A and B are shown apart, each in its own frame.
Chain A
Amino acid sequence: MEPISVLEDRKNQIYRKGQDSFDISCEKKSLAGAVSQRACVFCGSRVVLYPIADALHLIHGPIGCASYTWDIRGALSSGPELHRMSFSTDLSETDIVFGGEKKLEQALVELIAEYEPKAAFVYCTCIVGIIGDDVEAVCKKVAAKTHIPVLPVHSEGFKGTKKDGYKAACDALFKLIDQNRKPEKQIPLSINILGEFNIGGETWIIKEYYRRMGIEVVAVMTGDGRVEEVQSAHRACLNVVQCSGSLTYLAKDMEKAYGIPFIRVSYFGIEDTSDALYDVAAFFEDTPEIMERTKTLVQEEVKTILPELSALRKDLTGKRAAIYVGGAFKAFSLIKALKHLGMAEVLVGSQTGNKDDYALLREMCDPGTVILDDANPLELAKYVMEKDAHLFIGGVKERPIAYKLGIGFCDHNHERKIPLVGFEGMVNFAREVHETVTSPIWDLVPRKSFNRAISKKG
């Protein structure tokens, strides 16, 4: 077998801790022909806005962009489920030639009449950027006609990366908040949860923690989201931002416009969840009961999950994990969570990390860890093999790489159906890791030199 070659132009996006001394290069456009695991601007926008369940999400473009994103995400709703529909203007050749504005308008008007959404988002895909439809104008017109907010999302796929899609989504959210803002009073002891998408019910878990702490959640953006809630977001005292900054743009805009401060948190793993809750409690220092309640909550929760975690940890100690995720922020939490299970990371990568993210990763990781930016399947395979990983944490596109090579896999993407946040999420995560890493099937896979079986190797 020939060694897997790494493209010259990619070498400065691959870093080995303890060996290399250069600064990892990042935030670049993916190299043509490199088979990046990244998606596009549209994907970023769709991820962020999708969970708003009573909004209409219309994808303006040819059918593919809509077809491939139909109901694939695990974002749950406690009420309406309009977000699970896939609406597309399904542009045809004549539309490409003569423009798609008419079709867009008609589609919007019909859909709004039939489904009665509280707002509509129109996602511009690549083609729209080329044929030059004035989506802004159409949205205005339809909004005037239908009396609901109709917001263009400028998510043309080629105009950047997934991160630009987050920004486009944040712009739309900010407009939604700002347009209809009434001078309502601030709600005391309240927060907005940003960057939480209710995958497998995660929003509900987190909201429950805040309820127990005595904090009111005004709006979640966008998990189990509703238009009306989003529109009151300006009334909260604090924005608590999760995830790799997908909603940091919005938090910054809201800080500027309404003076709402924000903090960044993560709800993955015991440490990060506790830190998140403590940070929020600390913000409301004038109400010390909140901190008291938070302490009790964390103690209770940790006590409940520790026995099971330690039991699972026994089998997992010393096992090696590879992590490849969209945003680097998630990787930080995963590294900590893995340490809790006695596992070590040997490969960590992200699609969209920035300089600071990678600097932090470099500090956090064990020596010898391979750090990758915007990797491709060949590179991922090369390094998981080299590092002899027992577990791969990633999304659907990484799964076959792991499985083909006889490595356990844990889905940590938006498509999963199991909640992984908070204390109970940590148990779910540990169980999932344990299930896959200790499966007896690894005894049967042909890569014997590389035996994953717990039963054989301690």
Chain B
Amino acid sequence: MIPKKIKTIPYTATRNACKMCTPLGAALVFHGIEGTIPLLHGSQGCSTYMRRYLISHFREPVDIASSNFSEDTAIFGGGDNLRLAIENVTRQYFPAMIGIATTCLSETIGDDVPMILNGMDNAVDDTILVHVSTPSYTGTHVDGFHGAVHAVVERCNPLTGKTKDDLKTRKKINIFPGMLSNEDIRHIKEIFTDLNTEFTILPDYSERLEGPSWEDYQAIQKGGTPVREIKTMNLATASMELGSILAGTVNQGGESAGSLLKERFDIPLVSLGFPIGVKATDLFFSHLEQLTATAMPEKYKCQRGRLIDAYVDGNKYVSKRRAVVYGEEDFVVAMAGFLAEVGIIPVLCASGGKSGLLEKALEETLAPNILKQVTVHQGMDFTRMEQAARDLNPDFVIGNSKGYTMSRHLNVPLVRVGFPIHDRIGGQRILHIGYKGAQELFDTIVNTLLQRRQDTSKTGYAYM
């Protein structure tokens, strides 16, 4: 089944992008590792802009260092600057790890970062230096995100660390959640804890980017996956990786953190989409049950029961409603699956990402009768999205804050989910995954639609 194509005139410039650049994803990952400071190898502006962008969503300090290119650096190479930056970051922050991500600039002038880093390990005591290549002109923030997770796992789990005996001591599960919210990460941790299973989740920025008010200054906020735990990821019984596009990439021969551990250490890898909605969460739990040989705790069965009951209560408010869903590709696929499961037609599924896998992932997620009503578009910006959406008569749009302009022009409500949320408080606390997440999403969507009906009705019923 081939989804419908959009008939808009192609154009050259990107107009109101529905994506961010690669190093931003990497910087986010490094904030999810204990004691780690991200350092962008490039000009000052990139770091500052990304800091501001992340701060506006998380409302927490986000420190990203820069090697601060000047004209000389751009001509003669950034080696000295990078070394100096590493030394200064070490002196100021005493980090356990420095996550070095390149930018368009350092990539284009061809700085050989691994070579520059070679021999630096001694200069900075025990600080681990991790390098990830993140030129922005080859991908989006999502690629930077997965790239950084992969780089950290690779750096902390060298092949030489593998011994036969280790196999016996394997017990924990690695979980790579992908780019989810703080609340999502906390929920995954809760689930694993409830299953009595040891696990390492990477990254985990849920504490560092949403910590309590301080008693005293914290140069690097508390929280994050401890480096020592990342170092023992090669001792796990299995790895679980979330994100259907990521899974698709691995299937096509791409490398992810999970596939690296599988290759190097024979750790089985389970890949599945984000567990958003009942069906996706069922799948998530069934995998967990297999991996841990533990049945789904009663608590989650109750959540599931209540959720389905709520679906029933609200079915008529949402059935046949039309939604535009946009954001990161993994997110779009999972969200479309959820919408379809409650009877909402995701008439337009759009992303600024361009993995080439979006259509296929949606084909695998949506039933054919739904799919034929769906328009899919990768590499899309908000201007084109708005044009396309106009013809599709959506009842609402669902995605990050950046879609606000579109929703305003279309005069339909925006349900805010994903990243970034820049025009509301609490974006970092939105729960998307699990039965509980679906419950929150469902309530929000139904109430948004009800409010719309109420606000636009002449009568203004107080009883709906």
Contacts and interface: CB of A to CB of B under 8 A. Distances in A.
Given A382-B217, A406-B214, A90 B13 contact: yes
A325 to B, nearest CB: 15
B21 A67 contact: yes
A5 B91 contact: yes
A66 interface: yes
Contacts of A62: 21, 104, 135-137
A64 B60 CA distance: 21
Nearest to B62: A400
Given A39-B45, A64-B49, A158-B73, A93 B14 contact: no
Interface stretch (B78-86, B237-245, B262-270, B305-313): B78-86
Interface stretch (A102-110, A199-207, A262-270, A357-365): A102-110
B61 A377 contact: yes
Given A32-B66, A91-B137, A126-B69, A40 B48 contact: yes
B86 A63 contact: no
Given A30-B44, A32-B88, A33-B86, A399 B55 contact: yes
B137 A397 contact: no
B74 A63 contact: no
Nearest to B402: A70
B64 interface: yes
For B39, B48, B84, B105, the residue with the greatest tally of chain A CB atoms inside 10 Å of its CB is B48
Interface string A336-359: 000000000000000000000000
Interface string A376-414: 111001100100000000001101110111100000000
B249 interface: no
Interface in A74-126: 84-93, 95-96, 103, 106-107, 110-111, 114, 126
A130 B137 CA distance: 14
Interface string B97-126: 000000111001100000000000000000
Nearest to B90: A33
Interface residues of A, number: 76
B92 A64 contact: no
A311 interface: no
Given A33-B65, A158-B73, A4 B17 contact: no
A130 B109 contact: yes
A376 B86 CA distance: 16
Nearest to A413: B52
Contact of B17 (A67, A84, A130, A403): A67
A424 to B, nearest CB: 25
A206 to B, nearest CB: 27
A65 interface: yes
B70 A36 contact: no
Contact of B44 (A40, A63, A65): A40
A68 B84 contact: no
A51 interface: no
A397 B140 CA distance: 23
Contact of B16 (A34, A85, A405): A85
B53 interface: yes
Given A33-B39, A96-B108, A127-B104, A158 B67 contact: no
Nearest to A87: B13
Contacts of A71: 405
B19 interface: yes
Contact of A397 (B51, B67, B86, B138): B51
Given A64-B136, A71-B405, A88 B17 contact: yes
A92 B44 contact: no
A37 interface: yes
Interface in B11-64: 11-17, 19-24, 39, 42-53, 55-56, 59-64
Contact of A58 (B13, B45, B59, B66): B13
Given A68-B20, A96-B137, A103-B12, A126 B104 contact: yes
Nearest to B10: A110
Contact of A32 (B85, B93, B217, B383): B85
Contacts of A399: 55, 59
A31 interface: yes
Contact of B19 (A29, A43, A63, A130): A63
Interface in B310-356: none
A237 B109 CA distance: 48
- Scoring B74, B82, B140, B212 by chain A CB atoms within 10 A of each residue's CB, the highest score goes to B74
A446 interface: yes
A378 B92 contact: yes
Interface string A144-160: 00000000000001110
Given A5-B91, A34-B92, A400-B55, A86 B16 contact: yes
Interface in A135-175: 157-159
Nearest to B73: A158
B216 interface: yes
Contacts of B105: 126-127, 130, 157-158
Interface string B133-151: 0011110100000000000
B66 A70 contact: no
A318 to B, nearest CB: 24
B215 interface: yes
Given A32-B85, A110-B11, A157-B43, A38 B17 contact: no
A68 B12 contact: no
Nearest to A399: B55
A33 B45 contact: no
Contacts of A34: 65, 68, 88, 92
A376 B61 CA distance: 12
B87 interface: yes
A446 B213 contact: yes
Given A64-B20, A91-B137, A110-B13, A158 B74 contact: yes
Nearest to B383: A85
A168 to B, nearest CB: 13
Nearest to B93: A378
A87 B14 CA distance: 6
A225 to B, nearest CB: 21
Nearest to A84: B405
B51 to A, nearest CB: 6
Contacts of B64: 35
A41 to B, nearest CB: 7
A61 interface: yes
B219 interface: yes
Contacts of B136: 62-64
A399 B54 CA distance: 13
A62 B73 CA distance: 20
A127 B50 CA distance: 17
Contacts of A396: 52, 55-56
A212 interface: no
B14 A158 contact: no
Given A378-B219, A446-B213, A92 B68 contact: no
B214 A40 contact: no
B179 interface: no
Contacts of B138: 92-93
A141 to B, nearest CB: 15
Given A127-B108, A396-B55, A446-B215, A36 B68 contact: yes
A90 B108 contact: no
Contacts of A126: 42-43, 45-46, 69, 74, 103-105
20 contacts: A4-B217, A31-B68, A32-B67, A35-B63, A37-B48, A39-B45, A39-B48, A65-B46, A67-B17, A67-B19, A87-B15, A89-B12, A92-B137, A93-B138, A126-B45, A130-B109, A131-B108, A396-B55, A400-B59, A406-B214
Interface of B: 11-17, 19-24, 39, 42-53, 55-56, 59-71, 73-74, 81-82, 84-89, 91-93, 103-105, 108-109, 135-138, 140, 211-219, 383, 402, 405
Given A33-B88, A85-B16, A403-B213, 4 more contacts: A4-B219, A30-B66, A36-B68, A68-B49
